[in-house]
């Protein structure tokens, strides 16, 4: 059985603001059990780390890359692409996920920065 991880678990792990919950999160990540992180968790991690921990973008990228390095963690292909886009752009993670899902399709958006991402095909020319 897979275990789906909620944002709150990862926030406790990264911020260590509650030692008991941070240790539970650490043990879960180290168990070797199959863990799944839904795409929606990444924008939430970004938001919370910026707002509560004043984390920098490089610190957030480091956190995302740590999660992708865990062999027992499953992410969608789009989440992995979004992390790469996030690292190379100034877009927020939600837009990076949209960009990752829209590659090789067309994207209906008025967001110029989003439409400027490589391999994005604007719906409106």
| Whether residues 81 and 20 fall in one domain | no
The mean of the pLDDT values for the chain is 96
Residues 65 and 52 in one domain: yes
Please tell me whether residues 57 and 95 are part of one structural domain. no
Burial of 45 (0-12, 13-18, 19+ CB in 10 A): buried
The answer, yes or no, to whether residue 32 has pLDDT greater than 90, is: no
pTM of the model: 0.92
- Domain limits for position 16: 1-75
CA torsion, ordered 26, 30, 34, 36, to nearest 10 deg: 30
Residues 47 and 81 in one domain: no
Check whether residue 91 and residue 38 sit in a common domain. no
Two tokens, residue 111: 């967001």
């Amino acid at each position: 059985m897979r275990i789906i991880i909620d944002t709150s678990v990862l926030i406790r792990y990264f911020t260590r603001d509650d030692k008991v919950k941070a240790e539970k999160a650490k043990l879960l990540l180290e168990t070797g059990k199959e863990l799944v992180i839904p795409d929606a968790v990444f924008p939430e991690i970004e938001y919370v780390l910026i707002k509560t921990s004043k984390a920098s973008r490089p610190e957030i990228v480091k956190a995302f890359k740590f999660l992708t390095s865990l062999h027992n963690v499953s992410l969608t292909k789009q989440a992995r692409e979004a992390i790469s886009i996030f690292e190379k752009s100034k877009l927020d993670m939600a837009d990076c996920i949209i960009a990752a899902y829209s590659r090789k399709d067309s994207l209906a958006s008025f967001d110029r920065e989003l439409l400027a991402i490589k391999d994005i095909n604007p719906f409106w020319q």
